[in-house]
Structure 1
Amino acid sequence: MTRPQDSADLILELRQRLELTQEQFAAHLGVTFPTVNRWENRRAKPSRLALQSIRGLLEQMGESGQDLLTKYFSS
């Protein structure tokens, strides 16, 4: 699983790759805009469930998300 200090980088990289605003990304994950904002600004860490959702999203992206899966989720 991703290291806590890396979660902000992961979320920002993924959101930018998908070309989504924080609000759009939050809606996609079923969380609030302030939650995504706190994650990206390192004021909070995603829950295990949120990280599972993010991992699932990367898996759905196929080849375009493979590098992020490898970077943040390989053990």
Structure 2
Amino acid sequence: MLKQPEVSHLIRQLRQLTALSQEQLAATLGVAYSTVNRWENGHIKPSALALNQIRNMLKELKDSPEITLQECSQMLLEQYFPETESTVR
């Protein structure tokens, strides 16, 4: 399970990778803007369901035609979800 500082970094890196604002990421994940804001600022941790949605977003980005998105999403998956990625290969 991810620790709080890791979650904050993951959310920020995901937003930077996708060029989404907190509001846009919240809409994509089906949560409130304030929820994403609190995740990113380290006030709360995402639920298991939200983390699964984030992991799925990264997996989808891995299939992007853009090489940079593929590489960066793969790196984030390996960094933040190593146990699930090692079993997928």
Aligning the two structures, in what range does the TM-score lie when normalised by the shorter sequence? over 0.9
Give distance in 2, aligned partners of 1:39 and 1:9: 9
* 2:12 counterpart letter in structure 1: L
Give distance in 1, aligned partners of 2:36 and 2:24: 10
Alignment-derived partner of residue 4 in structure 1: 3
* 1:68 counterpart letter in structure 2: L
Alignment-derived partner of residue 35 in structure 2: 35
1:4 is displaced (CA, Å) by: 2.0
Aligned length: 74
Q: Kindly, what percent of the aligned residue pairs are identical?
A: 50
Name segments (4+ residues, structure 1) moved above 4 Å: none
Q: Which runs of 5+ in 1 are unaligned?
A: none
* 1:66 counterpart letter in structure 2: Q
Alignment-derived partner of residue 77 in structure 2: 69
Give distance in 2, aligned partners of 1:49 and 1:9: 18
Which structure is richer in relative contact order (CA contacts within 8 A, separation 6 or more)?
1
Q: Which runs of 5+ in 2 are unaligned?
A: 63-69, 84-89
SS of structure 1 residue aligned to 2:45: coil
> Structure 1-normalised TM-score?
0.93
Query: Could you say which structure has the larger radius of gyration?
Result: 2
1:45 is the counterpart of 2:45 = yes
Give distance in 2, aligned partners of 1:7 and 1:43: 10
Give distance in 2, aligned partners of 1:58 and 1:36: 16
Query: Residue by residue, what CA displacement relative to the aligned partner does 1:13-54 show, whole Å, maximum 9, x if unpaired?
Result: 001110011000000000000000000010000000000000
